[in-house]
């Protein structure tokens, strides 16, 4: 390839090339500065499009939903009704049918022969005696045949008569499903959400819980054996002592790091989320490792803030690119006000297969079932899956939030004395925090805490 | 009589499909139907009803692509009946290719991309579709090819040209 204006470059940026082509492309990009620049620009645009895809939440109307959900039930009813009407057929019935049809055909042929021989004789006489009317004599001959055709078509009205019935049944299934066993109709999830939302808006205002941090540090897991990890989001509705009118807001509380026994919920209300994003950069304490920061932004006004609602935020790593991984921690930041967003942040560290490269690679997927993006403009972003793309970025060029939270995660590793922590020490944690601008506020408090811990450790 | 187990499988599959793709499919159909969400709902209802008639084992593996394909075909049927279907113009697509410098090199990224989704409407129908399927519906090239009936190469070309055009439009907007 000798031009940067090539579809393969875009496909490469979007992770759509197969391994062989991707490797060739990687080599070519490494040798071609223009291609590298082009790749970065495509990456920028695609990252933006992926993370800020506009959406609107739609659902079927309740009668449509019920029609769909009642589909098999209605089919079963129709089949059962049809079976009741039809007497049971014995094994000999098909044979009898064939024999009777053959007999009927033989009778018709014989009758046709008799009729032909009976009416064929006078025909020449008519032809000779009345040559002109011959043409007119044909209609009488064809008239009976037309009548015969009509007679043959007699079953047609029967079919036509049956057709509206069939259509009526179909229409009933589709447009008037509520007439079909309404008691047995499962209530659609969207309706449940709507009810929750309706009742939620009548609730008093809220007082939001304090931020929650949780360290999940654990041993590395071989991605080829278990490539999946998840945290559970539980939107919680909290209220002030003195209730005031206002919308219900949601905070998030953390839960277990692994998905050992996550109950499957079939009627979970939808969790509204503003956005989600997965960032990947090198690991400050071990350059051969990579860090993943997963952020979900959740609106404060949350219809799903109902007791017992749980949402599994799962990440699954691609064993082709990830040899092993571990969960480092999660952080839940409640909304500061009803109209402000809450955040849930999860951190993972992984060891890549082979050398990290500048090429964009989809190293895993994040899923959050029953989540819906909040509105924005025209169409929904697929809330069911988020690609985790590793573009080979280094931690030194990462954003402040990434650096500061990696300092927190590193500090957690230090406190827990975790293995596989490379060159991690207090100085590195402090350096990360200071790089992230820990001059004042909460970040400065954290930096002071690290210094105190460093002194206490005699370092 | 249909196998009861198949019916149960179908019901479970439809519920799963509704849970995962109901909203996305309506939005997708609405895009094809010029924003007519009511007709889009009808299309999606029909899509799910058709899912009941499909063999679950055959559909399950490619459920997403299957749903999008059926939904798309139903929406296009409606457009054809309305005589509103505009097919992509290859010449227009080719004219979208440009060789100007990448705008993101010279401008602030966040400002540059603020209008990207609005500008998408200025792209050709099939460019919009592949970009939406990729970025809004998280479909792979393979999925998009299956849904649209295009070859994977065509999908790649449309994606490439569409993104370049989008960048060019962004540059024009900012200038």
pLDDT, tens only, A139-148:
443 334 433 3
Helix (H) or strand (E) holding A390: strand A386-390
CA distance A378 to chain B (A): 7
Structure tokens that stand for A273 in this block: 């989320």
Cα-trace Rg, chain A: 37
Instruction: Specify which residues A348 forms β-bridges with.
Output: A292, A327
Instruction: Say yes or no to pLDDT of B141 above 90.
Output: yes
Instruction: Say yes or no to pLDDT of A103 above 60.
Output: yes
- Say which range, A7-11, B79-83, B132-136, B160-164, has the weakest mean pLDDT: B79-83
How far apart (Å, rounded) are the C-alpha atoms in residues A291 and A175? Answer: 52
* A-interface mutation test, from B15, B16, B27, most A Cβ less than 10 A away: B27
Residues in chain A: 459
**pLDDT tens, residue by residue, A4-48:** 788 898 999 888 988 888 888 899 888 888 888 888 888 888 877
Residue B36 buriedness (CB in 10 A; 0-12 / 13-18 / 19+): middle
CB A32 within 8 A of CB A38: no
Instruction: Specify which residues A324 forms β-bridges with.
Output: A222, A351
- Helix A441-456 to helix A426-435 angle, to the nearest 10 degrees? 170
Instruction: Say yes or no to pLDDT of A123 above 60.
Output: no
What SS3 state is found at B125?
helix
Whether residues A381 and B132 touch (CB distance < 8 A) is answered with no
CA distance B14 to chain A (A): 8
CB A306 within 8 A of CB A203: no
Give the residue extent of every domain in chain A. 8-51, 53-59+206-393, 63-87+98-184, 396-459
- pLDDT band for B113, please (50, 70, 90 cuts): low
- pLDDT band for B80, please (50, 70, 90 cuts): confident
pLDDT of residue A292: 92
pLDDT of residue B157: 93
CA proximity to B23, closest of A185, A382, A189, A186: A382
How far apart (Å, rounded) are the C-alpha atoms in residues A218 and A223? Answer: 14
pLDDT of residue A237: 56
pLDDT of residue A185: 38
Whether residues A69 and B14 touch (CB distance < 8 A) is answered with yes
Q: Which residue is closest to A5 within chain B, CA to CA?
A: B99
How far apart (Å, rounded) are the C-alpha atoms in residues A28 and A15? Answer: 16
How far apart (Å, rounded) are the C-alpha atoms in residues B156 and A16? Answer: 9
What is the average per-residue pLDDT within B139-165?
92
CA distance A305 to chain B (A): 19
What SS3 state is found at A366?
strand
* Sole residue written with tokens 């290859």: B90
pLDDT of residue A134: 40
Instruction: Say yes or no to pLDDT of A93 above 60.
Output: yes
pLDDT of residue A459: 66
Q: Which residue has the higher pLDDT, A76 or A98?
A: A98
Instruction: Say yes or no to pLDDT of B156 above 90.
Output: yes
On chain A, the residues whose CB falls within 8 A of the CB of B24 are 379-380, 382
- pLDDT band for A175, please (50, 70, 90 cuts): very low
Whether residues B157 and A71 touch (CB distance < 8 A) is answered with no
CB A274 within 8 A of CB A376: no
Structure tokens that stand for B172 in this block: 């024009």
Q: Which residue is closest to A45 within chain B, CA to CA?
A: B113
Q: Which residue is closest to B104 within chain A, CA to CA?
A: A41
What is the average per-residue pLDDT within A385-393?
82
What is the average per-residue pLDDT within B108-134?
77
Percent of chain B with pLDDT over 70: 75
Structure tokens that stand for B135 in this block: 């970025």
Give the contacts of B104 (CB within 8 A, at least 6 positions apart).
A40, A41, A44, A45, B112, B167
How far apart (Å, rounded) are the C-alpha atoms in residues A363 and A323? Answer: 10
Instruction: Say yes or no to pLDDT of B61 above 70.
Output: yes
**Contact status of B19 with chain A (Cβ, < 8 Å):** yes
User: Within 10 A of A105 (CB to CB), how many other CB atoms are there?
Assistant: 10
- Say which range, A55-69, A191-205, A371-385, B75-89, has the weakest mean pLDDT: A191-205
Whether residues A10 and B40 touch (CB distance < 8 A) is answered with no
Helix (H) or strand (E) holding A251: strand A251-253
On chain B, the residues whose CB falls within 8 A of the CB of A65 are 18
Fold of B90-174: Arc Repressor Mutant, subunit A (1.10.10)
Whether residues B1 and A79 touch (CB distance < 8 A) is answered with yes
What is the average per-residue pLDDT within B68-79?
88
The conformation of residue A268, written as its DSSP 8-state character, comes to: P
What is the average per-residue pLDDT within A83-95?
61
* Sole residue written with tokens 């000779």: A128
Chain A stretch 266-295, residues whose beta carbon is closer than 8 A to a beta carbon of chain B: 266
CB A322 within 8 A of CB A364: yes
Whether residues B102 and A41 touch (CB distance < 8 A) is answered with yes
Q: Which residue is closest to A190 within chain B, CA to CA?
A: B19
Highest average pLDDT, of A198-212, A371-385, A441-455, comes from A441-455
pLDDT of residue B92: 42
Instruction: Say yes or no to pLDDT of A325 above 60.
Output: yes
What SS3 state is found at A296?
strand
pLDDT of residue B31: 85
Chain B stretch 28-87, residues whose beta carbon is closer than 8 A to a beta carbon of chain A: 28, 30-31, 35, 37, 40-42, 44-45, 48-49, 52
CA distance B138 to chain A (A): 6
pLDDT of residue B83: 59
> Any idea what the Cα angle at residue B163 is, between residues B158 and B167, rounded to 5°?
150
Percent of chain A with pLDDT over 70: 57
Chain B stretch 116-135, residues whose beta carbon is closer than 8 A to a beta carbon of chain A: 116-118, 131-132, 134-135
How far apart (Å, rounded) are the C-alpha atoms in residues A431 and A408? Answer: 12
CA proximity to A72, closest of B23, B134, B52: B52
On chain B, the residues whose CB falls within 8 A of the CB of A385 are 138
CB A344 within 8 A of CB A295: yes
CA proximity to A315, closest of A232, A419, A205: A232
What SS3 state is found at A273?
strand
What SS3 state is found at A376?
coil
Q: Which residue has the higher pLDDT, A366 or A71?
A: A366
pLDDT of residue B3: 63
**Contact status of A84 with chain B (Cβ, < 8 Å):** no
How far apart (Å, rounded) are the C-alpha atoms in residues B130 and B149? Answer: 11
CA distance A6 to chain B (A): 7
Q: Whole-number mean pLDDT of chain A?
A: 67
Helices of type H across A327-370: none
CA proximity to B51, closest of A58, A64, A71, A384: A71
> Quick one: CA dihedral A399, A391, A45, A382, positive or negative?
negative
Q: Which residue has the higher pLDDT, A197 or B118?
A: B118
Give the residue extent of every domain in chain B. 4-82, 90-174
Whether residues A10 and B99 touch (CB distance < 8 A) is answered with no
What is the average per-residue pLDDT within A204-212?
39
Highest average pLDDT, of A239-243, A255-259, A346-350, B116-120, comes from A346-350
> Quick one: CA dihedral B148, B151, B154, B155, positive or negative?
positive
ipTM reported for the complex, 2 dp: 0.72
Whether residues B136 and A382 touch (CB distance < 8 A) is answered with yes
How far apart (Å, rounded) are the C-alpha atoms in residues A302 and A271? Answer: 7
What SS3 state is found at A211?
coil
pTM over 0.80: no
Whether residues B117 and A49 touch (CB distance < 8 A) is answered with yes
Q: Which residue is closest to B8 within chain A, CA to CA?
A: A72
How far apart (Å, rounded) are the C-alpha atoms in residues A310 and A262? Answer: 9
pLDDT of residue B158: 94
CB A241 within 8 A of CB A206: no
Q: How far is CA B120 from CA A117, A173, B85, B90, in A?
A: 79, 39, 19, 17
**pLDDT tens, residue by residue, B12-26:** 888 888 888 888 899
Whether residues A382 and B138 touch (CB distance < 8 A) is answered with yes
- Say which range, A172-186, A281-295, B15-29, B126-140, has the weakest mean pLDDT: A172-186
pLDDT of residue B81: 75
What is the average per-residue pLDDT within A291-299?
85
Mark A167-205 as b/e (b = at least 16 C-beta within 10 Å): eeeeeebbeebeebeeeebeebbbebbeebbeebeebeb
How far apart (Å, rounded) are the C-alpha atoms in residues A214 and A416? Answer: 12
Q: Which residue is closest to A366 within chain B, CA to CA?
A: B138
CB A344 within 8 A of CB A275: no
Whether residues B48 and A68 touch (CB distance < 8 A) is answered with yes
**Contact status of A55 with chain B (Cβ, < 8 Å):** yes
Q: Which residue is closest to B170 within chain A, CA to CA?
A: A45
On chain A, the residues whose CB falls within 8 A of the CB of B118 are 377
- Say which range, A275-279, A421-425, B62-66, has the weakest mean pLDDT: A275-279
Give the contacts of A172 (CB within 8 A, at least 6 positions apart).
A74, A179, A180
């Amino acid at each position: 390839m000798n031009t940067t204006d090539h579809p393969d470059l875009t496909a490469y940026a979007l992770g759509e090339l197969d391994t062989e082509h991707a490797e060739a492309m990687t080599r070519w990009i490494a040798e071609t500065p223009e291609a590298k620049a082009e790749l970065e620009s495509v990456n920028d645009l695609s990252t933006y499009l992926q993370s800020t895809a506009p959406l609107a939440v739609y659902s079927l109307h309740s009668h449509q939903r019920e029609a769909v959900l009642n589909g098999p039930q209605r089919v079963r009813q129709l089949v059962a009704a049809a079976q009741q009407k039809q007497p049971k057929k014995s094994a000999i019935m098909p044979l009898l049918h064939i024999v009777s049809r053959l007999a009927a055909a033989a009778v018709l042929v014989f009758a046709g022969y008799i009729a032909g021989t009976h009416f064929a004789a006078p025909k020449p006489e008519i032809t000779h005696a009345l040559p002109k009317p011959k043409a007119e004599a044909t209609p009488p001959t064809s008239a009976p045949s037309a009548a015969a055709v009509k007679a043959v078509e007699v079953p047609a009205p029967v079919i036509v008569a049956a057709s509206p019935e069939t259509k009526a049944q179909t229409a009933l299934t589709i447009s008037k499903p509520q007439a079909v066993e309404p008691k047995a109709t499962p209530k659609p999830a969207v309706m449940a959400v709507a009810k929750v939302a309706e009742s939620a808006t009548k609730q008093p205002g809220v007082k939001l819980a304090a931020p929650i941090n949780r360290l999940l540090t654990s041993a590395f897991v071989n991605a080829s054996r278990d490539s999946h990890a998840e945290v559970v989001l539980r939107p919680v509705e909290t209220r002030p002592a003195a209730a005031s009118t206002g919308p219900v807001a949601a905070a998030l509380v953390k839960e277990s790091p692994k998905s050992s026994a996550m109950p499957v919920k079939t009627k979970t209300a939808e969790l509204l989320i503003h956005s989600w994003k997965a960032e990947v950069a090198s690991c400050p304490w071990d350059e051969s490792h990579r860090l993943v920061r997963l952020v979900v932004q959740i609106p404060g006004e949350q219809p799903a803030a109902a007791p017992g609602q749980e949402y599994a935020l799962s990440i699954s790593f691609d064993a082709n690119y990830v040899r092993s991984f571990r969960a480092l921690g999660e952080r839940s930041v409640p909304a500061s006000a009803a109209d402000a967003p809450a955040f849930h942040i999860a951190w993972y560290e992984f060891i890549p297969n082979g050398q990290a490269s500048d090429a964009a690679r989809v190293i895993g997927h994040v899923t959050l079932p029953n989540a819906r993006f909040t509105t924005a403009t025209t169409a929904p972003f697929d809330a069911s899956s988020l690609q985790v793309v590793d573009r080979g970025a280094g931690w030194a060029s990462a954003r402040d939030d990434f650096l500061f939270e990696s300092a927190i995660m590193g500090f957690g590793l230090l406190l827990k004395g975790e293995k596989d922590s490379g060159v991690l020490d207090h100085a590195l944690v402090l350096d990360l925090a200071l790089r992230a601008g820990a001059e004042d506020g909460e970040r400065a408090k954290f930096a002071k805490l690290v210094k105190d811990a460093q002194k206490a450790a005699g370092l | 009589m249909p196998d009861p187990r198949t019916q149960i499988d179908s019901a479970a599959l439809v519920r799963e499909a509704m849970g995962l793709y109901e909203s996305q499919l309506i939005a997708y159909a609405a895009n094809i139907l010029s924003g007519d969400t009511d007709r889009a709902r009808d299309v999606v209802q029909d899509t799910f009803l058709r899912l009941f008639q499909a063999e679950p084992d055959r559909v399950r593996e490619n459920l997403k692509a299957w749903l999008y394909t059926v939904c798309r075909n139903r929406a296009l049927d409606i457009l054809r009946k309305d005589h509103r279907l505009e097919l992509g113009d290859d010449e227009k697509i080719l004219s979208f290719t440009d060789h100007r410098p990448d705008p993101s090199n010279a401008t602030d990224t966040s400002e540059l991309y603020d209008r990207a989704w609005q500008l998408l409407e200025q792209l050709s129908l099939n460019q919009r579709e592949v970009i939406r399927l990729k970025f809004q519906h998280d479909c792979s090239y393979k999925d998009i090819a299956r849904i649209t009936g295009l070859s994977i190469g065509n999908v790649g070309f449309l994606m490439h040209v569409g993104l370049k055009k989008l960048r060019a439009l962004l540059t024009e907007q900012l200038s």
